Structure 1
Amino acid sequence: MGRECKVLIVDDEFITRQGISHMIMWEQEGFSIVGEASNGQEGIEMIEKYQPDIVLADIVMPVLNGIEFSMILQEKYPNIKLIILSSYDNFEYVRTTLLNGAVDYVLKPTLNPEILLRALKKAAAGIPGFSLDRRESVALETQMERYLTGYQDTILETEYKERFPYMQFRILAGNMKKACGSNTRQWEKTQELMIRHLQKNGFEKLGTFYLEQEVFFCVINYKKPDEIFLIETLKEGTEKAGKVAENLFLVLSNGFTEFSGIRDIYEKEVKQALEQKFYFADKFLIEQREYITKEAERFRYEEYAELLKKHQFSQAMVLLKDYMEYLCRCRYDAYQCKNLFKNLLYNLLMEMEKCGVKSEELRRLYFKKTDKTESDKEFLLCCREITEELDAMVSECRHNEDSRIEEMKEYIKTHYKERLELADLAEEFSFNYHYISSYFNQHMQEGFSGYLNMVRIEKSCQLLKDSSMPISAVSMEVGYSDHGYYCRIFKKLKGETPSQYRRKSRTEEGNW
């Protein structure tokens, strides 16, 4: 009597694994996929666990490539048949694997159902005393998995009516990879606990399988009067399972009556909710009705940018922190929420760098800290800690800036007689030439030239009052080589000419 031929797929590309697993009706042809691995090392571990008859393996993989994999397989498991998946440009590698015991190779670009099935049957024929057990029908779980992933258009009512006799359905789903990591034993134990608890309490009409290798999917068929008891049972079961997998997070859909609606309900409701453990970190199970989101208003970026431009960092950080709190209240997508915070934080740090803050070092530190947050509470605490730390730096920065501005003012007062230009100031204080203009203007409320003129004119006023130097000599003494320009600037700032100022000042002192 024949049996199913067990097949293991080993390929680092998820799309390739997904395509192969849905390329043929495995059960009808007498084959079954016992597992999928993303590299050669994982493949060896799965071989020890599942003891497949045939392995389909890519030749170019991380950790352990196809050549190394074929050598280990030939040495440790010589009875397992190896089929190599290859691209056109690496036939020399394929030849090496054939020498290591591979029974066949398939070119990926030409792979289709007929070629795949032919290779599988050829490999199965080489297994001593083995005959394929072909089936007329395909398991309902397999059909549901194909239906949900888009590889099957419909599931006939005759296929599920006997299995699911009641009118009510709910979907229970959870990402076991996120809950348990690569600990497959923990996956199995957690799943087993949940299913046993349901069956123990009378809920036996179940259909369970995995989507995309990691999402546990369970269809529960039940009588309408049992709905409240079902929810209570699931809460009890998830509490028990949560002791095995501390990061367990399951979503229970709303009840529905049309079995054909499972794909839409999963795609439009359950799948989104599965990504939101971020907002339910203290729960192992949520009902679909608990997952309510609100449309978020856009960030006031123009206002934020203006505050940064004016170096009003504290106000900008209040705006940033408040918006993150608002997004969490809206239950905004966690991944996008973190990314938006990092982008806005980056803009803040770039502006603070102009004030002497080491932005690159802080950026790496803060981004890593943000990415590590696993709940909205952790994330908001992280935002507060970062903004408070930066606010303290801003205060110190302001003190340093005040000191630097005073030093600049003192430098101008000392060197005003010279042919002083903005480039001289930039060089003296190690500033970028283009930046120092806006920096000076921002802190002094006027430009460099305006301040220099003010200092020179004030010094000239003293000379006009206290000395009998000719006005042309006064202008030269305070740094103006052009007498006419000096007179124009003097009148602009004082409202009168240097001659008028001298006469007026001497009259007031009674010296004329």
Structure 2
Amino acid sequence: MIDVLIVDDDQLVRKGLMLAMPWDRFEMRIVGEAGNGEKALEFLSENHVDLLITDLAMPVMSGIELIRTSRKLYPDLPIAVLTLHQDFEYIQEALRLGAIDYIAKVQLEKERFEEVLGRIHDRIHADRRKRFNDEATMESGKDALFYGEQGKETQSFGESRCERELLGSSVVEASDVSVKDKLHSFRWVHEESYMLELLDDLKTLRLPVPRLMQLLYGVTEDWNRTFKNIVSTEMTIPVHFASWNDVVEWMLNFRAEALRLSGGQYLRKEVTSSIMTAVKIVHDELQNPLFASDVSKRVNLSRSYFNQCFKEMMGYSFNEYLRKIRIDKAKDYLIQTAKPIVWIAEHTGYADEKYFSRIFREQVGMLPSEYRNTTRRG
């Protein structure tokens, strides 16, 4: 939708334009009107406008001065002028200042309104497309330099990215969902070949750098949240990466540090990987019924060996750890939300509210409702 501001010192002219022109047909709507340039600038400072239509001869501030000031303050704002035929010199000056079209007042009744608005509509969208393509090409050029591929079909990549942005961010997210799942599985921490494959997938995808940073930041936060009971040191991510080589170096360092902190260098990597996968399952599927026998099968360990290794690595048995994480999550819900106790019980894996309340009291020393009231008073 194109939001339009009409500026004219003659109220009848303003009303006539608002009522007579087929705005809806050209995806336009009137969002404001002003009787002089100063009022128009005041409106522009407080409201979003896609098209300014202004008279040239007005008191207080002329249309020419309004155009000149608007071009400085809002260089991308399209402007059309209202004028009398004898104002031809004013028209020339307005066009020189950047006005995209003009409407002759004396011909308002017989002017072909569709032609005028159609011309303005097409010009606005043409300018938008050009501006977007220029920005996309510039960004894609930066991305190509980042990935070390300058000079390799930068323009075609810009067009591809432009198309994806026009279709919406969901297209970008859908294209990298598989890589996102691989990153958050943390399998790459324990399998070097898997990490190399993941890096290749990431580079091939050639995500815009901000999106890549977003993905890697999310992975870092997920690691710190999930494995804070295993490792005492939180992983960090730089404010920015200068190049793809920096990303590769960061992931290699992340992997080496994660292995060191989790004891992966001293235990069989397959076992460490299995236990950490089990921990990830607990966090990701907290609301579902979880049993050591089922989880041990999913991570390819016998139940007895799984229980032994889980206790050795985590300091808790599987059931103790599961209960601890569920209660911790319940505490978060009680403090940060107003959800009823039954909802919190269900979303932390307890089908029975009374059983949940009993377990909570055993672990925390008070009922969930008491905990909520106590922490909020504090």
TM over 0.5: same fold? no
TM-score range, shorter chain: 0.3 to 0.5
* TM-score normalised by L of structure 2: 0.37
* TM-score normalised by L of structure 1: 0.29
Q: Which has the higher helix share?
A: 2
